[in-house]
Amino acid sequence: MTLKINFKKIHKWVAVVVFIQLFIWLGSGFLLGKVDHSKAAGRDTKMHSTDKLSAFNNELIDIQNILKSYPLATHIELVNLLDMPVYRIRMTSRQHAYQASEYVLINAIDGRLINLASLDAAILNNRLIQDIAQASYKQPLKAQETQLMLAPIEDLPRERNPVWQINTLDSDNTSIYIRANTAQFITHVNDETRWRDLLLMLHFMDYFQEGSFNNMFIKVFGFSTLILSGSGLWWLYRLVRENQIKLIWWTSNKTVLLRNYQKDDITAFTASKNSSILSALLDNDIPIQAICGGGGVCGTCKFNSNGDIRITDAELTLLTKEEIATGLRLSCQHSLSEVTEIELHSRNKNSNKSANKSG
């Protein structure tokens, strides 16, 4: 069994997919230009805060004592958590804060463990979560919903750590996000942010919400475009090689003899010698079947040539060996310059006949 690859079909369907994605890319890009980026970044609601330590009077626990309890720590820092000095101890090494990581938080004054990353422990620290959220939010927090979320998180597609979500229920449906393992404020997400993120997802083809420009879909799209370009160039090469595409600077007319089905009646027709035989026949009101309109895929525009005429790929696909051997060819595949006399295939004879009668 031989597998015949139909390049035209591959080219056509890849082109459809690429065109749809191109349309989405243009549309989402246009709408991105209309987004209120200041609002989407949460500047209307965010309070500037820092975890840099301010001056304090209490004596801190010796860091050496802390490290004895955590010999596998990769990094330790003293930070400010709502004016409370806290040792933030990193147990796993990660390049980005959103990557899954393990931290231990210890009150630097009394040595108490601060755990926001599990529901049980967080009940004890619920007030702390509320206070961190309030510290990031310009207005007083009133009605709200609080929940601990695990990846994947719709508003934060890249985040891989447990996160506290505090829904403010304000008019923009702002949600405040706090990373549970570090007690750090992450961001505010409102309806404008969600709209912007949806457009970015469409624009960068991040359909699996990887949160990255370098996602699987964009690679597939790039590869498809490469196939499209390659198959297009190959197709163009074949068309030029088969003389179906020519650069024409100047052309002249040519008269070709048309033998009727009885071979005792010859007429003639004239057209540009570079036009296809099919176009020349139709331009001269000579009926011929051409279901695909000259696309080279239906095989209905047959004619007989009296000369030795080349065989195209479309003819090898659509005609039988016997038909080709008897000189049958497709009129959409050849130009007038290739023939001096033709005879239309028998399927067209009836229509010629009726045309003659009505004439």
Provide the mask over 322-341, with x wherever binding to ligand FES is found by CB under 6 A and - wherever it is not: --------x-x---------
Element (H or E) spanning 20, and its range? helix 7-32
Q: Which stretch binds ligand FES (CB under 6 A): 33-41, 102-110, 203-211, 293-301?
A: 293-301
Please, what is the minimum distance in Å from the beta carbon of residue 318 to ligand FES? 6
Please, what is the minimum distance in Å from the beta carbon of residue 33 to ligand FES? 45
Residue placing its CB nearer to ligand FES in the complex, 206 or 338:
338
For position 152 contacting ligand FES by CB under 6 A, the verdict is no
Residue with tokens 């198959």: 231
For position 292 contacting ligand FES by CB under 6 A, the verdict is yes
Q: Which two tokens stand for residue 326?
A: 């008897």
Q: Which stretch binds ligand FES (CB under 6 A): 104-112, 142-150, 165-173, 284-292?
A: 284-292
Q: Which stretch binds ligand FES (CB under 6 A): 4-12, 244-252, 298-306, 337-345?
A: 298-306
Q: Which two tokens stand for residue 31?
A: 């709408």
For position 301 contacting ligand FES by CB under 6 A, the verdict is yes
Among 298, 309, 324, 328, binds ligand FES (CB under 6 A): 298
Neighbours of 110 (CB within 10 A): 9
Show the 3-state SS of 230-268: HHHHHHHHHHHHCCCCCCCCCCCEEEEEEECCCCCCEEE
Q: How is 89-144 classified by DSSP, letter by letter?
A: EE-S--SSTTS---EEEEETTT--EE--SSHHHHHHTHHHHHHHHHHHBSSPP-S-
Residue placing its CB nearer to ligand FES in the complex, 162 or 296:
296
- Distance between CA atoms of 237 and 243, rounded to whole angstroms? 10
Residue placing its CB nearer to ligand FES in the complex, 121 or 292:
292
Residue placing its CB nearer to ligand FES in the complex, 232 or 294:
294
Query: Are the C-beta atoms of 76 and 87 separated by less than 8 Å?
Result: yes
For position 300 contacting ligand FES by CB under 6 A, the verdict is yes
- The length of the chain is 359
Instruction: Classify residue 87 by its DSSP letter.
Output: E
Q: How is 137-192 classified by DSSP, letter by letter?
A: BSSPP-S-EEEEE-SSBTTBTT--S-EEEEE---TT--EEEEETTTTEEEEEE-HH
Residue placing its CB nearer to ligand FES in the complex, 157 or 299:
299
For position 296 contacting ligand FES by CB under 6 A, the verdict is yes
For position 129 contacting ligand FES by CB under 6 A, the verdict is no
Please, what is the minimum distance in Å from the beta carbon of residue 246 to ligand FES? 18
- Distance between CA atoms of 254 and 242, rounded to whole angstroms? 20
Residue placing its CB nearer to ligand FES in the complex, 67 or 292:
292
Please, what is the minimum distance in Å from the beta carbon of residue 268 to ligand FES? 22
For position 281 contacting ligand FES by CB under 6 A, the verdict is no
- Distance between CA atoms of 252 and 273, rounded to whole angstroms? 6
Residue placing its CB nearer to ligand FES in the complex, 219 or 347:
347
Among 114, 199, 277, 290, binds ligand FES (CB under 6 A): 290
- Distance between CA atoms of 86 and 84, rounded to whole angstroms? 6
Residue placing its CB nearer to ligand FES in the complex, 167 or 289:
289
Q: Which stretch binds ligand FES (CB under 6 A): 215-223, 248-256, 295-303, 339-347?
A: 295-303
Nearest Cα to Cα of residue 160 among 73, 96, 92, 115: 96
List of residues contacting ligand FES (CB under 6 A): 290-292, 294-301, 330, 332
